[in-house]
């Protein structure tokens, strides 16, 4: 039977710089744990003068160290933290952190160094236990490797490092198991305590226990961190709790919970998803779908993209009062793109005509601040315009003598923008993308080699026969994935004919053209002569449920074809919104359709050449 060995350390009665809320913190945490009737707990506590360095060490080594495979070891420390400058190469902050035990101040003893504490906890984890440390002290974000009162004291001159400071050298093989850290603040910050609900408490301990009360026993570390972090943020702007490891694992049990790494919560600024520009989120208008609930899809739309997060609004549903105290897993379900940047140079009259046409195209912008996709360029001459941009083939010049001619130029620019977005499409959540891959193998007709710049080069035979290859879509995940394989050509086209959408089993491979060879030709009109070549981008889009493939189909651009005919009249195409949601309806058999799930991409570049 799983056993939870817990060590609660709370120190208020320091000889110097005493605190008032630390023992309250660990008593409340212990009371919460004892209320969890489904957990078999063995609890040890060290309060005030009992929490010497030797006692804390022994509590970790002897009490928590009894935890074996399947058990959980919990260290909860509330007290002072400290730091000092260091030139140790493993300390990216340039400072070392430590926990201040009772005798670290009173009897001139040393603190518990970050490297020693981290090694002790990781040693227990290496034996198969799930290990978690909750540290409510200053500089706690680095302590396993602190008006409100701060839980910090200055570095003391007698605190010379007595524990080994080096880390093991690199080695081959799987990474060792590590502990999970819930820290009150970042390594460079201080943690605070104040009167909360009638008694002095640490901001972080109070917020974490409040979050545990709201989320219940199924809380994940990621959910707890999101909810507790927002609570602390409302109390002070000077303290930012940290989570290291275990975002998708259950609190205390360590069991993994499948789900998106992106979380939706209510904050002082409104509803917020922890996905921002740093994760690849492009623009307002993107959507996320909630994975929680009764299976009824609920969507939020992005109204503001920040560096690390996005502010969102519910779409066609009204949050319930209790939702503000919950955390929801979400998955990207529609991506919005900023307008593609267009630069115009050359003949002033032609430029004015095209500028007027671009003003009515939502996917394009001539503003100096536009940054969407690969920049597009129009070089205007008397009565004509040459459009360029991206990696496709050069296009012939277009006549521009009237507003209708300018509209055709804008049609061409819009087409190139859509093609580039398909080529560059990636999910901000990289989880599924890391579990799929595309392979291109020779059949003996022509040759296949990999170039130094990452291209797969496929060559015609000496007698000018086109190369034949086998293309595989590999699912390295532990679940079936629906896959569609796009062929993006340098003629600015995209097709799904190689693999038009089907499930690939866990650990299995889907073959393009149902296992038949893929013939790689030069496009019509290009002579098969030495030096001739063409490029393709093979892109697989995978999801946990079927996707509508219409947004992925794009015919080569031609001035004589209307945009609606070229895109199949895809709804929303003009708005630049590429939707990734489950199609309406379900299969003929098998029950109701699945809700939106996670998705990912993988891509290879092909160069077909005549040697």
Q: Is residue 235 situated within a structural domain?
A: yes
Angle between helices 221-235 and 203-215 (to 10 degrees): 130
Q: Is residue 570 situated within a structural domain?
A: no
* Pair (363, 401) in one structural domain: yes
* Pair (305, 327) in one structural domain: yes
* Pair (390, 321) in one structural domain: no
Provide the pLDDT for residue 260.
Answer: 64
Q: Which residue has the higher pLDDT, 290 or 473?
A: 473
Single out the residue in 423, 448, 479 at which a domain terminates. 423
H/E element, 40 = none
Nearest-CA neighbor of 351 among 415, 410, 411, 412?
A: 410
Q: Which residue has the higher pLDDT, 436 or 87?
A: 436
Strands (E), 107-198: 112-113, 130-136, 149-150, 180-183, 192-196
> Rounded CA gap, 161 and 112, in Å?
9
Q: Which residue has the higher pLDDT, 45 or 543?
A: 45
164 band by pLDDT with thresholds 50, 70 and 90: very low
Residue 449 neighbours by CB under 8 Å, 6+ apart:
456, 457, 459
Q: Is residue 564 situated within a structural domain?
A: no
Nearest-CA neighbor of 472 among 454, 459, 490, 485?
A: 485
Q: The whole model's pTM is what?
A: 0.74
Provide the pLDDT for residue 172.
Answer: 37
Q: Output the six-digit token pair for 220.
A: 């994940």
Q: Are strands 310-315 and 270-273 parallel, antiparallel or unpaired?
A: antiparallel
Residue 126 CA: distances (Å) to CA of 115, 122, 610: 16, 6, 55
Number of domains in the chain: 4
Q: Is residue 286 situated within a structural domain?
A: yes
* Pair (277, 346) in one structural domain: no
Q: Is residue 569 situated within a structural domain?
A: no
Q: What is the CB neighbour count within 10 angstroms for residue 562?
A: 10
The domain spanning residue 442 has which CATH number?
Answer: 2.60.40
Q: Is residue 561 situated within a structural domain?
A: no
Residue 157 neighbours by CB under 8 Å, 6+ apart:
none
What distance lies between CA 196 and its chain's CA centroid?
34
Mean pLDDT of 186-199: 91
Provide the pLDDT for residue 43.
Answer: 95
pLDDT tens digits along 375-384: 899 999 999 9
* Pair (399, 436) in one structural domain: no
> Rounded CA gap, 9 and 22, in Å?
8
* Pair (12, 108) in one structural domain: yes
Q: Output the six-digit token pair for 234.
A: 């409302």
Q: What is the CB neighbour count within 10 angstroms for residue 138?
A: 29
DSSP, residue by residue, 240-256 = --EEES-TTBBTTT--B
Provide the pLDDT for residue 540.
Answer: 96
Q: Which residue has the higher pLDDT, 95 or 242?
A: 242
Q: Is residue 533 situated within a structural domain?
A: yes
Q: How many CA atoms lie within 13 A of 10 on its CB side?
A: 19
Would you say 260 and 275 are in contact if contact means Cβ atoms under 8 Å apart?
no
Single out the residue in 292, 310, 336 at which a domain terminates. 336
292 band by pLDDT with thresholds 50, 70 and 90: low
Query: How buried is 177 (Cβ within 10 angstroms: 0-12 exposed, 13-18 middle, 19+ buried)?
Result: middle
352: pLDDT strictly greater than 70: yes
> Rounded CA gap, 112 and 99, in Å?
5
* Pair (214, 273) in one structural domain: no
**Average pLDDT, rounded, for the chain:** 85
> Rounded CA gap, 67 and 129, in Å?
6
257: pLDDT strictly greater than 80: no
> Rounded CA gap, 289 and 335, in Å?
12
* Pair (407, 527) in one structural domain: no
Helix and strand numbers (H, E) in the chain are 9, 34
Query: How buried is 547 (Cβ within 10 angstroms: 0-12 exposed, 13-18 middle, 19+ buried)?
Result: buried
Q: Which domain holds residue 130?
A: 4-161+175-244
* Pair (24, 100) in one structural domain: yes
Query: How buried is 495 (Cβ within 10 angstroms: 0-12 exposed, 13-18 middle, 19+ buried)?
Result: middle
Q: Is residue 85 situated within a structural domain?
A: yes
C-alpha dihedral sign at 508, 512, 515, 517: negative
* Pair (324, 189) in one structural domain: no
Would you say 481 and 436 are in contact if contact means Cβ atoms under 8 Å apart?
yes
Q: Output the six-digit token pair for 333.
A: 């379900």
335 band by pLDDT with thresholds 50, 70 and 90: confident
Would you say 390 and 355 are in contact if contact means Cβ atoms under 8 Å apart?
no
Bridge partner list, 311: 272, 304
Provide the pLDDT for residue 590.
Answer: 39
Q: What share of the chain is helix, strand, coil (3-state, %, to 5)?
A: 25, 35, 45
> Rounded CA gap, 545 and 331, in Å?
13
pLDDT tens digits along 403-447: 999 999 999 999 999 899 899 988 888 888 999 999 999 999 999
In Å, the largest CA–CA distance within the chain is 90
Instruction: Determine if residue 198 is left, alpha or beta; phi over 0 gives left, psi from -120 to 50 gives alpha, anything else beta.
Output: left
C-alpha dihedral sign at 317, 318, 322, 326: positive
Point out the least confidently predicted range of 269-283, 492-506, 568-582. 568-582
88: pLDDT strictly greater than 80: no
Provide the pLDDT for residue 218.
Answer: 79
Q: 3-state class of 399 per DSSP?
A: strand
Single out the residue in 383, 398, 423 at which a domain terminates. 423
> Rounded CA gap, 55 and 64, in Å?
12
> Rounded CA gap, 248 and 267, in Å?
21
Edge-first strand listing for the sheet containing 41-47: 41-47, 4-10, 72-78, 130-136, 180-183, 242-244
* Pair (603, 586) in one structural domain: yes
User: How long, in residues, is the chain?
Assistant: 611
* Pair (384, 436) in one structural domain: no
Nearest-CA neighbor of 288 among 586, 33, 607, 579?
A: 579
Q: Output the six-digit token pair for 579.
A: 């939707």
The domain spanning residue 211 has which CATH number?
Answer: 3.40.50.1460
pLDDT tens digits along 360-374: 888 888 886 666 666
Strands (E), 137-276: 149-150, 180-183, 192-196, 199-202, 242-244, 262-267, 270-273
> Rounded CA gap, 349 and 346, in Å?
9
Residue 415 neighbours by CB under 8 Å, 6+ apart:
492, 554, 557, 563, 566
> Rounded CA gap, 496 and 507, in Å?
23
Q: Token match 């399947």: residue?
A: 70
Nearest-CA neighbor of 596 among 293, 321, 365?
A: 293
Bridge partner list, 202: 193
Q: Token match 């897993």: residue?
A: 329
Q: Output the six-digit token pair for 392.
A: 């496709």
Q: Are strands 41-47 and 4-10 parallel, antiparallel or unpaired?
A: parallel
Mean pLDDT of 156-169: 45
């Amino acid at each position: 039977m799983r056993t939870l060995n817990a060590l609660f350390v709370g120190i208020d009665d320091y000889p110097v710089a005493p605190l008032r809320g630390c023992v309250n913190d660990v008593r409340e945490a212990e009371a919460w744990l004892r209320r969890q009737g489904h957990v078999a707990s063995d609890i040890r506590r060290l309060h005030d003068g009992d929490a010497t360095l030797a006692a804390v060490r022994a509590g970790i080594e002897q009490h928590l160290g009894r935890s074996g495979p399947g058990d959980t070891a919990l260290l909860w420390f509330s007290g002072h933290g400290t730091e000092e400058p260091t030139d140790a190469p493993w300390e990216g902050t340039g400072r070392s952190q430590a926990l201040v035990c009772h005798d670290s101040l009173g009897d001139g003893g040393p603190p518990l160094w970050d490297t020693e504490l981290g090694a002790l906890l990781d040693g227990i984890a290496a034996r198969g236990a799930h290990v978690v440390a909750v540290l409510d002290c200053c500089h706690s974000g680095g302590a396993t490797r602190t008006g409100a009162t701060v839980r910090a004291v200055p570095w003391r001159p007698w605190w010379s490092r007595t524990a080994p400071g080096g880390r093991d050298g690199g080695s081959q093989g799987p990474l060792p198991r590590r502990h999970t850290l819930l820290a009150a603040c970042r390594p460079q910050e201080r943690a605070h305590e104040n009167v909360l609900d009638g008694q002095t408490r640490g901001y972080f301990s109070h917020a974490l226990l409040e979050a545990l009360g709201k989320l219940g026993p199924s809380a994940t570390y990621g959910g707890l961190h999101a909810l507790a972090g927002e609570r602390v943020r409302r109390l002070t702007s000077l303290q930012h709790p940290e989570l290291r490891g275990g975002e998708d694992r259950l609190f205390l049990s360590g069991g993994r919970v499948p789900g998106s790494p992106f979380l939706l919560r209510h904050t002082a600024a409104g509803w917020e998803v922890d996905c921002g520009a740093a994760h690849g989120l492009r623009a307002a208008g993107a959507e996320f779908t909630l994975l929680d609930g009764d299976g009824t899809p609920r969507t939020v739309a992005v109204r503001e993209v920040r560096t690390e997060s996005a502010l969102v609004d519910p779409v066609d549903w009204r949050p319930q009062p209790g939702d503000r105290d919950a955390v929801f897993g979400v998955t990207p379900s529609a991506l919005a793109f900023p307008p593609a940047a267009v630069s115009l140079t050359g003949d002033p009259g032609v430029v004015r005509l095209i500028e007027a046409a671009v003003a009515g195209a939502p996917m394009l912008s001539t503003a100096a601040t536009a940054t969407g996709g690969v920049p597009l360029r129009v070089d205007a001459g008397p009565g004509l315009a040459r459009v360029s941009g991206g990696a496709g083939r050069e296009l012939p010049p277009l006549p521009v003598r009237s507003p209708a001619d300018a509209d055709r130029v804008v049609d061409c620019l819009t087409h190139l923008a859509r093609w580039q977005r398909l080529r560059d499409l990636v999910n901000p959540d990289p989880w599924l993308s890391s579990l799929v891959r595309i392979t291109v193998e020779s059949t003996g007709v022509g040759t296949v080699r990999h170039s130094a710049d990452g291209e797969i080069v496929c060559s015609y035979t000496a007698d000018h026969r086109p190369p034949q290859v086998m293309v595989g879509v590999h699912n390295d995940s532990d679940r079936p994935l629906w896959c569609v394989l796009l062929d993006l050509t340098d003629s600015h086209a995209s097709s799904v004919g190689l693999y038009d959408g089907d499930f690939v089993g866990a650990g299995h491979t889907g073959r393009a053209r149902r296992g038949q060879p893929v013939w790689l030709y030069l496009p019509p009109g290009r002579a098969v002569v030495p030096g001739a070549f063409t490029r393709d981008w093979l892109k697989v889009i995978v999801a946990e449920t079927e996707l509508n493939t219409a947004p992925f189909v794009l015919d080569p651009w031609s001035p004589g074809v209307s945009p609606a005919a070229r895109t199949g009249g895809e709804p929303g195409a003009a708005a630049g919104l590429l939707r990734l949601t489950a199609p309406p309806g379900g299969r003929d058999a098998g029950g109701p359709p699945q809700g939106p799930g996670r998705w990912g991409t993988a891509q290879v570049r092909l160069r077909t050449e005549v040697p």
